[in-house]
Amino acid sequence: MGFPGTWMTESESVVYRVVPKCACSTIGQIMYYSDHGEFFDGDIHDASQGLHKWALDDSQPLITSNVEQHKSYAFTCVRNPYTRILSSFFDKICGIQRNGRRYRGNLVPLLIQKYGIEVGDPENGFEFDQIKSFRRFLLFARDTIRWRRPMEPDIHWSAMSGHISTFIVNGGRYDKIFWTEQFNDGMQSVLDAIDTPNPIDLGDIPRFNESEGHGPKRLHPVEDYFDDLSMHLVYEIYKRDFQMFKYDFENPGNKMPIGEIDLHEVHAKLGE
């Protein structure tokens, strides 16, 4: 199976396991800049050179050799499951994508038909009942993850622990897992541990939020989207994420972690 979702700088200074909706655009651009002294012109996910990616055939043997021998510092980044699934809804379900179309073509019509979800559109200012539609989307996300229907689960809302575990199961080890909510502290600790061809001052790095501005703005506090049933569904889907990465399941309004990530526990439980 190898190391899907793994990126590595061309200098092999660092290895990163991508987790969608967890600052991956910004992290990828930092890695690119660290080698080349400039940012990639465009969405880093579209870059086919300047950064080794598992999706590029020529990169696979280099990534495999590096990760299996743990030649470089390896890390990933996680996010509160409540805000991550909300972000996925507003970006992927409600938003218009970079190509000017809806995400995955027939996905949104399917959701409108089968789950009664409304998503609004740019012409009406994306006016719709966000809370009602989001809760219906949550049922759909649960169905894809639990029963793999009406489709396979999408990488943007499948559990972080699933993404992160493939790296471990196939022979990789993480040196650091940090939280999006404390991004600068976490990313700085990675930069402190590696040698980059070009120096990086995180204070000068813009945030590369490629999904911003393509869909409706969130109108309510995070906690308003999650009633008792929604919280139950979120726990059913993301129980391991809450446990492994120390987020507060009891309070959707608290996006900050409530404990320290135990790398030994992560490797032991996600490497099974």
Q: What is the pLDDT of residues 41-77, one digit of tens each?
A: 999 999 999 999 999 999 999 999 999 999 999 999 9
Q: Does 148 lie in the same domain as 66?
A: no
**pTM to 2 decimal places:** 0.95
Q: Is there a domain that residue 261 lies in?
A: no
pLDDT of residue 1: 80
* Domain extent at residue 101: 81-154+214-238
Q: Is there a domain that residue 244 lies in?
A: no
Q: Does 165 lie in the same domain as 50?
A: yes
Q: Does 111 lie in the same domain as 184?
A: no
pLDDT of residue 123: 74
Q: Does 75 lie in the same domain as 86?
A: no
Q: How many domains in the chain?
A: 2
Q: Is there a domain that residue 253 lies in?
A: no
Q: Is there a domain that residue 225 lies in?
A: yes
pLDDT of residue 100: 81
Residue ranges of the chain with per-residue pLDDT less than 50: none
Amino acid at 189: S
Question: b/e string for 98-120 if b means 16 or more Cβ within 10 A?
Answer: eeeebbeeebbeebeeebebbbb
Euclidean distance between CA atoms 222 and 130, whole angstroms: 11
pLDDT of residue 114: 94
pLDDT of residue 79: 98
Q: Does 198 lie in the same domain as 146?
A: no
Euclidean distance between CA atoms 31 and 37, whole angstroms: 10
Q: Does 164 lie in the same domain as 85?
A: no
Q: Does 178 lie in the same domain as 119?
A: no
